[in-house]
Chain A
């Protein structure tokens, strides 16, 4: 079972330079990337230990003395490879603003209230079926200074480890129907509309729990797939 990492799939990602997102202008390289073969270095990656993630890391509503304010939600989905196979033992890390759109981060000075009962960070290690599941509150939209009257659509940050170091993905999950989508240069930095829409979670009544919480499904597809026996695992 050898891993292959098709380069063509990475066209789904945004380019490094997207001038509408002004912070990219001085942080995107100008020289072309140097194409290199996939060696053992690229084809391997960190393996996270089962014992290191606690069950309580997945419930962001029970990390303090009381319950956070906001709309309680369940966010679940599968981490998949490019062929749709589940990725087991994948570390999923998540962080987000509170219901008022305020991050607990010291550098967030947006005049919205902090919630003493909400930090907004969690972790999950996927099972054999590749599934993760978090309980949290729906984050609020918040302003930023990219351009006049700039607001980020509500989102949850995801960090995911796959089968190799170059499968690693940091992304954001959005909520269906957000009116801020057309105005957000980060979301629209992804050139392909179908690829953009893969970052929008799907409301799911089957995940929704009566009298308790709305449910959303968000599958995450990582780079990499298993080579068929006739394929050369190391691409040159």
Chain B
């Protein structure tokens, strides 16, 4: 007896559930769970990838000001020419090995860390361009669905004309702009409370 349903339009999306406290051995095993294959990690750009190598780091902080030690961040970004490794961005790319996708858990003090390259400007709505940015999804225990935010870079003049930043109240834009120190850009993600990070309805 098969109970295979007919091919019909689904009733709706599968709803999200929290990643929980024990995702590490499934999603970010690192070297602690040697027999679990790593799908992706915080090393987004291999050495030699065209573009400027950078480190993107910061802490995830909760509404009490405490670090979140069991969050996970995923990032999605264009290459240094502003091109995405995806079939819907048909433009040729300088490197076929750069996927633009990374995943980092947070340490006991809430720190995430990616080694990547600085993305270029990418097409925006209405034929314009966006400032260089990285799309971020934040998962964690106590989070029934992921939150989306963006990381911009404080040394980019094009931030002033970015169509997405323009939608954010000016007083809160700083929560999206990472600060440069050498080759490291730092941005904390505050889930709630004073200085709360801007999260997007995408």
Interface residues of chain A, those whose CB is within 8 Å of chain B, are 2-3, 5, 7, 9-10, 12-16, 18, 21-31, 33-48, 52-54, 57, 63-64, 80, 82-84, 91, 93-95, 97, 103-108, 119-121, 123, 157, 159, 165-166, 168-172, 186-187, 189-190, 192, 194-196, 198-199, 202, 204-206, 217, 219-223, 234, 236
- Central interface residue in B76, B123, B137, B198, by most chain A CB within 10 Å: B76
B155 at the interface (CB under 8 A from A): no
Is the pair A42, B135 in contact by a Cβ cutoff of 8 Å?
yes
Task: Give the contacting residue for B2; candidates A21, A95, A204, A234; CB below 8 A.
Answer: A204
User: How far does the Cβ of A166 sit from chain B's closest Cβ, in whole Å?
Assistant: 5
* Complex interface: chain A residues within 8 A of B76 (CB): 41, 44-46, 165
In the complex where A3-B88, A47-B86, A63-B35 touch, is A157 in contact with B142 (Cβ < 8 A)? no
* Complex interface: chain B residues within 8 A of A36 (CB): 164, 167, 200-202
Is the pair B100, A107 in contact by a Cβ cutoff of 8 Å?
no
Is the pair A34, B12 in contact by a Cβ cutoff of 8 Å?
no
Considering the complex, give the chain B residue whose CB is closest to the CB of A97: B22
* Complex interface: chain B residues within 8 A of A121 (CB): 25-26, 29, 33, 36
Is the pair A169, B137 in contact by a Cβ cutoff of 8 Å?
no
Assembled-state Cα–Cα distance A171/B19 (Å): 7
Task: Give the contacting residue for B15; candidates A13, A21, A234; CB below 8 A.
Answer: A13
Is the pair B62, A26 in contact by a Cβ cutoff of 8 Å?
yes
Assembled-state Cα–Cα distance A106/B86 (Å): 36
B168 at the interface (CB under 8 A from A): yes
Is the pair B2, A16 in contact by a Cβ cutoff of 8 Å?
no
* Complex interface: chain B residues within 8 A of A206 (CB): 1-4
Assembled-state Cα–Cα distance A136/B108 (Å): 31
Considering the complex, give the chain A residue whose CB is closest to the CB of B125: A37
B145 at the interface (CB under 8 A from A): yes
